[in-house]
C-alpha cells in the first residue's frame, strides 16, 4: 500500500534517532522495520509519499499505532521556536516521531545499550534474536519473549556479546515471565512511580529507565540524558534546560537535540 503524509514523517530521521535498533536500511530509501514478531518493508517515494508492504488493514491495526500517527508532531515541533539552538535542532529533525515500541523489547534493548555504541547494540540484539527468537523472514528473527530467553542455554546467550548485561537480562526475563501482567501494572503508574519501579530492576539506572519509559511506555515527557545530550546541554544550556517550557513533550525535544547534535558532530 502507499500513503501520503502531511504531518512530520521521515524514515531516515526516525531510523537515526537512537530510539530503535531494528529499523534498518542499506540505501536510505528502503527500510526493514521489525517490532517484536512483526516485520514491515517501507520505502520513501518522495514528496511525502511512502510505500509499505502490508495491507491497509494491517497498517491501520498495528503500524499506524507504532508510528504514533494520531499525534500531530508538526504542532509539537513549533514548541521549539522559543530557543534558537532547539529550533535549529527541530528544523534539522523534521520527520521525527516517537515510535510506540514493545515494552519488553525496549527493556532488554536499553539494558543492552549501557556503555555500547549503537552499531554494537544492534549487533548484540540481532545475535540475541537469532539465538532465542523465531524466524519470521529470510534470516530475520523475532525479538525473543521472556520465556524464550529463560529457556535459552546460558552459553548460547553469552555468545550474543551481552557481557555483564547478561545477568541483568536473565533477571528481567525471569521477572516478566513469572509476572505476565507486570507491564500492564506498570502502565497504570504515573511517570514518577514508573521511573521508580523500572529502576528496581538490576542494571537499570536513571538513563535506561527514562529510555524504557519514553520509547516503550510512550511517556513523552521523559528526557533521557546520554553523552550526546549532556554535551549539547553543557554547550547550549549552561543555565539548565527549561523542562517546564516543553511539558508534556520534553522527550520529543530530546530527540530533536540527539538527532541534530549527534549527526552534526559526526558529519
Residues with active-site annotation: 207
Distance between CA atoms of 185 and 215, rounded to whole angstroms?
Answer: 17
Residue 68's SS3 state is: coil
Distance between CA atoms of 209 and 200, rounded to whole angstroms?
Answer: 10
Q: Which of 245, 211, 239, 242 is nearest to 225 (CA)?
A: 211
Q: Which residues, listed in sequence order, are joined to residue 135 by a DSSP beta bridge?
A: 141
Exposure on the CB side of residue 193, measured as CA atoms within 13 A: 6
Residue 190's SS3 state is: coil
In the numeric block, which cell numbers belong to residue 13? 530521521
Q: Hunting for cell 542494571 — which residue is that?
A: 203
Amino acid at each position: 500500500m502507499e500513503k501520503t503524509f502531511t504531518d512530520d514523517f521521515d524514515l531516515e530521521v526516525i531510523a537515526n534517532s537512537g530510539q530503535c535498533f531494528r529499523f534498518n536500511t542499506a540505501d536510505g530509501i528502503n527500510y526493514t522495520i521489525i517490532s517484536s514478531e512483526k516485520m514491515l518493508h517501507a520505502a520513501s517515494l518522495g514528496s511525502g509519499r511512502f510505500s509499505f508492504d502490508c495491507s491497509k488493514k494491517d497498517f491501520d491495526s498495528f503500524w499506524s499505532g507504532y508510528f504514533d500517527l494520531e499525534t500531530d508532531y508538526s504542532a509539537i515541533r513549533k514548541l521549539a521556536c522559543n530557543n534558537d539552538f532547539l529550533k535549529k535542532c527541530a528544523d534539522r529533525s523534521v520527520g521525527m516521531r516517537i515510535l510506540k515500541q514493545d515494552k519488553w523489547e525496549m527493556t532488554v534493548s536499553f539494558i543492552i545499550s549501557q556503555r555500547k555504541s549503537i552499531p554494537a547494540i544492534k549487533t548484540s540484539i540481532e545475535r540475541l534474536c537469532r539465538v532465542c527468537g523465531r524466524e519470521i523472514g529470510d534470516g530475520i528473527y523475532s525479538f525473543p519473549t521472556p520465556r524464550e530467553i529463560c529457556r535459552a542455554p546460558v552459553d548460547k546467550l553469552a555468545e550474543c556479546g551481552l557481557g555483564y548485561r547478561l545477568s541483568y537480562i536473565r533477571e528481567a526475563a525471569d521477572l516478566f515471565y513469572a509476572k505476565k501482567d507486570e507491564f500492564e501494572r506498570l502502565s497504570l503508574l504515573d511517570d514518577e512511580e514508573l521511573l521508580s519501579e523500572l529502576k528496581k530492576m538490576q542494571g537499570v539506572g536513571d538513563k535506561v529507565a527514562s529510555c524504557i519509559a519514553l520509547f516503550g511506555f510512550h511517556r513523552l515527557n521523559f528526557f533521557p540524558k546520554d553523552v550526546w545530550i549532556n554535551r549539547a546541554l553543557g554547550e547550549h544550556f549552561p543555565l539548565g534546560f527549561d523542562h517546564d517550557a516543553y511539558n508534556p513533550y520534553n522527550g520529543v525535544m530530546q530527540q530533536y537535540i540527539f538527532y541534530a547534535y549527534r549527526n552534526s558532530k559526526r558529519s
